[in-house]
Amino acid sequence: MTLPRFLAAGDAALVVEYGEVIDPVLIAAVQRLDRRLAAAHVPGVIETVPSFRSLMVHYDPLATSQAQVIAAIQGLEADDPTAASEPGRAWRLPVCYEAGFAPDLADVAAATGLAPEAVTAAHAGNGFTVAVVGFLPGCPFLAALPDNFNLPRRTAPRTRVPAGSVAVAQKLSVIYPTESPGGWHLIGNCPVPLFDARWDRPALLAPADRIRFQPIDAEEHGRILAAARAGDYDPRRDCVDGAAT
Amino acid sequence: MSHLTVDRPGLSTTVQDLGRRGLQRYGVPVSGALDPLALRLANALVGNPAGTAALEILALGPTLTVEAESVRVALVGSAVGLMIDGHPVPSGQSVTVLRGARISVGGFTDAASAILAIEGGFELASCMGSLSTYGRGGFGGFAGRALKPGDAVALAKAAATTAPERKAEPIDYGSGPIRVVLGPQDDWFEPAAIERFFAEPYIVTAEADRMGMRLEGARLAHARGFNIVSDGIAPGHIQVPGTGQPIVLLADRQTVGGYPKIGAVIGADLPRLGRMRPGDMLRFARIEVAEAEAVRRAQETTFAALVQRIGPVIVVPTTEQLLAVNLIDGVVAA
């Protein structure tokens, strides 16, 4: 692993950049730095935001300085790429891939050269890591699908993507927590609530969590959605390693 | 329960404090007042801790009826001032208003936003550690949205304290170009684009809100395209999409984004930038981080001295006022 670059982001934040591309090796390096920095409790650091290839460190410029934060990061214990390779929680989230929820499945099939069922099977069989939570509160960006899923976004973005939509682009998958505009290819729907301001941690999923999808039929999807809307569905049940709080 | 009833909400009046911290890793924006200096000074005037939630008013203020024994308020950020049952009260000073009186703030053009602070603040449930309203997400503040007619915003105190009214000098927001630290994607632009960015004026367009401000001016040519792999966004970050026209990201900015960011406005200049309105012209100047940090510390020292100089409002009443003192609706001291 090459040493990261320290880049300014104004006078209250700093970027620690490991590269410029989406690469599982870089994502893991960012997440290791995130954990090492959190464990060090550096004075003046307010919060960190891990993303695909860099860690943003937000700090209070009246309590510390960019130079001090950089020195603290450089003074952390040496990175050990073999340490704690699976630090997040493991989840198995239900997804309905049936036609009503997958308006772009045919397009994705054509673009990947796979049969529609093979697209669904590849997605459901893939092990994902949460690389970033952003764009919308609680919205997970999941890495990474095989190379043939390196698809551009739709040329005409939708103005309304339904809540729960499971979409793919750029070898990534995403789940829209709430209805929003969006330009990714929709191939399914996950009825599990992903964001709730009343939860202790408002997002169900956090960077470094591991996700697998469990195909469900429309009937099961409807049952979960109805329970979730009635407040009778505890999404922590989908945490397979029992670590959710 | 004591509250303020909203007769007219104004253009966009929201509850804001100093923002929601620690949750950007979950995609939750910071939000908070566009002009944090105004929030802090207004709170100081009514005797609140600096980060107490207050009403942020954009361009045209609300009309509120006091449904409490009394309430002490102060407006900071615009010179427009308050009207208490039709009687003007200048900006930058506190005033105590009695039950049934109407507090209103008219339209103003000297700033994009102003703050109306209330002694004791609001009796609202904290949402993820903050009372700031994030309208796009529909959470925080009062019902997660701007105020509407008929809303009753609960107050934390049933009556104002008997402390004397206080006033402050205006905030010095600084002047000259808005200072910018380059990065992290300044290397995604042609060197000539960086030069133009610091040489040419920009105009604030009508597409300006709490999330960001689109500017119009010299087009900034990208050297390496305009789609980066998304990374974190800092306060005041200036992203440049394919149009080549910069967008400055403000209080309700998203936490990550995929456009190259040429630089970020320094913390000391963000309140001044946040006050700018469509049509305003600005210029940018380059500054290094260490100097920006020194500027910020100096601003804090100056601001602390301003708060220290807050003093009592000395009213020399006229005979007419003395005779009418119990007749003027609601105004105890102004």
Give the Cβ contact number of residue B211 at 10 Å: 18
Using only C-alpha atoms, chain A has a radius of gyration, in whole angstroms, of 19
Q: Report helix, strand or coil for A58.
A: strand
Cβ <8 Å between B183 and A8:
yes
Instruction: Give the nearest chain A residue to B179 (CA atoms).
Output: A10
Of the partner residues A15, A134, A135, the one whose CB lies closest to the CB of residue B184: A15
- Measuring CA to CA, which residue among A58, A218, A29 is closest to residue A129? A29
SS3 content of chain A, % helix, strand, coil (to 5): 25, 30, 45
What domains are there in chain A, each with its CATH number?
5-79 (3.30.1360.40), 90-238 (2.40.100.10)
Instruction: Give the pLDDT mean for B188-206.
Output: 97
- Measuring CA to CA, which residue among B196, B281, B136 is closest to residue B273? B281
Confidence band of B164 (pLDDT split at 50, 70, 90): very high
Cβ <8 Å between A9 and B182:
no
Check residue A87 and give its pLDDT. 76
B64: exposed, middle or buried (Cβ count in 10 Å: 0-12, 13-18, 19+):
buried
Chain A contact for B137 (CB, 8 A cutoff): yes
Check residue B297 and give its pLDDT. 97
Q: Report helix, strand or coil for A91.
A: strand
Cβ <8 Å between A134 and B266:
no
What domains are there in chain B, each with its CATH number?
3-167 (no CATH), 178-287 (2.40.100.10)
pLDDT tens, N- to C-terminus, chain A (245 residues): 678 999 999 999 999 999 999 999 999 999 999 999 999 999 999 999 999 999 999 999 999 999 999 999 999 977 777 765 557 899 999 999 999 999 999 999 999 999 999 999 999 999 999 999 999 999 999 999 999 999 988 888 899 999 999 999 999 999 999 999 899 999 999 999 999 999 999 999 999 999 999 999 999 999 999 999 998 998 888 998 865 54
Task: Name the A residues in 51-70 with CB < 8 Å from any B CB.
Answer: 51-56, 58, 61-62, 65-67
Cβ <8 Å between A11 and B128:
no
Chain A contact for B289 (CB, 8 A cutoff): yes
Cβ <8 Å between A203 and B128:
no
Of the partner residues A7, A62, A197, the one whose CB lies closest to the CB of residue B127: A197
Cβ <8 Å between A9 and B184:
yes
Chain A contact for B262 (CB, 8 A cutoff): no
Cβ <8 Å between B297 and A202:
no
